Chain A
Amino acid sequence: MACRLQVAERTVLILWRSSNPYLTSHRVKKLQYPETTNDTVKSEVFKQIALLLEDKSLTVTDDMPLIGGESILDSMRLVELCLALEDKAAEVGFDFDWTSDAAMSRSRSMFRTAESLATEFIRQMKANK
């Protein structure tokens, strides 16, 4: 368990490194683990959503809608979320595409829920590895 936690923490460090200029890409490469847990990435996607919530008392859940009438993010924050995820994706070496045909379809959109966004992010990450 302790080992798993340590792996998760280090993976977070690699995937979601801060903008610290001293953390060079070389160092990131050296730290990289061969496998990334989906849960770790998902929790970081949720973290990015949480950072944009106006009501900080809310907890991001799997079924939290990101588009539509019940969305917890307005359109500006949704764009900011996309930009944040695009930056995170760039840090680990892939382009997060948030303009796909399925992006805004209510039934298929990656923005249907927090979970569907995390799932799509993970799918694109794996597809680009």
Chain B
Amino acid sequence: MIIITGASKGLGRAICERLIGRKVDVIGLARNVNDLPFASMSCDVSSYECVKAVAQQLKRRGAKVDGLVNAAGIASMNLAVITPPTVAQEIVNTNLLGTIYCCQLFAPLMLRNKKGSIINFSTIAVALGLKGESIYAASKAGVEAFTRSFAREMAAFNIQVNCLAPGPINTSLLKGITSEQIDKIVSQQIIPKQFKPDSVADLVELLLDSRSHSLSGQILHVGGA
């Protein structure tokens, strides 16, 4: 089974649908799972207790977890000096702490099998230091650092931990960003082209595949940076 957070929309949803299409057993986590047409559980990843409750339920059910995709994330594009503290906390709590909590609490479900793949999500904003995304980029830079260290901690258990850092992908996360801004970011990628959720899903499939077992602790930039 693959656990996917942020499953209700955006990249998380696209990854769920891709894997389900490949007959992979998926459980999607999201705050609101009411209308999801696949196996799902309600979970706010920014709440340690909430993630822990889901992990306990999966353990009691005897779920065999082979992978975790931490796609849950939020963004608020603003200059740091005009971002309210509650928004800054929300971004860090969901993007960074949410990823950490899910890794801490779901990794033990893979440790016993001595096999697994964890995929975290960062952003091109970290590599490019994008203006107006400083808090978002800071939260994701934390995810990258966590990925590198956590990968070393998990290596002895044959669990790979990697991080995908896409450029602007057309999802609801880009709401409020003008097409000119998107074009400007895309032009700074090594491959100056806006990629679609499918390209991210391709890389997720690659990282979940046992043939990528030699990769761990890596930050993979979709589009290149």
Q: Which A positions have Cβ atoms within 8 angstroms of B?
A: 75-76, 79, 82-83, 86, 90, 95, 99
Within the complex, the shortest CB–CB distance from A52 to chain B, in Å, comes to 13
A83 close to B111 (CB less than 8 A): yes
Tell me the B101-118 residues at the A interface (CB within 8 Å).
104-105, 108, 111-112
Main secondary structure of the interface of A (DSSP, over half): helix
- A86–B56 touching, CB < 8 Å: no
Mind listing 15 A-B residue pairs with CB under 8 Å?
A75-B153, A76-B156, A76-B157, A79-B111, A79-B157, A82-B108, A83-B108, A83-B111, A83-B112, A86-B108, A90-B59, A95-B56, A99-B52, A99-B104, A99-B105
Q: List 8 extra interface pairs beyond A75-B153, A83-B112, A99-B105, CB under 8 A.
A: A76-B157, A79-B111, A79-B157, A83-B108, A83-B111, A86-B108, A90-B59, A99-B104
Taken residue by residue from 89 to 129, chain B's Cβ proximity to chain A (1 for < 8 Å, 0 otherwise) reads as 00000000000000011001001100000000000000000
Question: What is B's interface to A at a CB cutoff of 8 Å?
Answer: 52, 56, 59, 104-105, 108, 111-112, 153, 156-157
| Distance in Å: Cβ of B101 to nearest Cβ of chain A | 10
B50 to chain A, nearest CB (A): 14
The chain B residue sitting closest to A86, CB to CB, is: B108
* B105 partner residues in chain A, CB cutoff 8 A: 99
> Separation in Å of the B150 CB from the closest CB of chain A?
13
Bound complex: CA of A82 vs CA of B108, how far in Å?
10
**Chain A residue with Cβ nearest B153:** A75
Residues of B within 8 A of A76 (CB): 156-157
Residues of B within 8 A of A95 (CB): 56
- Residues of B close to A90: CB separation below 8 A: 59
Chain B residue at minimum C-beta to C-beta distance from A75: B153
Residue of A nearest to B104 (CB): A99
Give Cα A90–Cα B105 distance, bound, in whole angstroms. 16
Chain A residue at minimum C-beta to C-beta distance from B156: A76
Of chain A, the residue at the smallest CB distance from B114 is A80
CA distance A95 to B104 in the complex (A): 16
A31 to B156 Cα, complex, angstroms: 39
Contacts of A83 on B, CB cut-off 8 Å?
A: 108, 111-112
Contacts of B104 in A (CB 8 A): 99
B107's closest neighbor in chain A, by CB? A79
Shortest CB-to-CB span from B48 to chain A, Å, is 9
Chain A residues with CB below 8 A from B153, complex form: 75
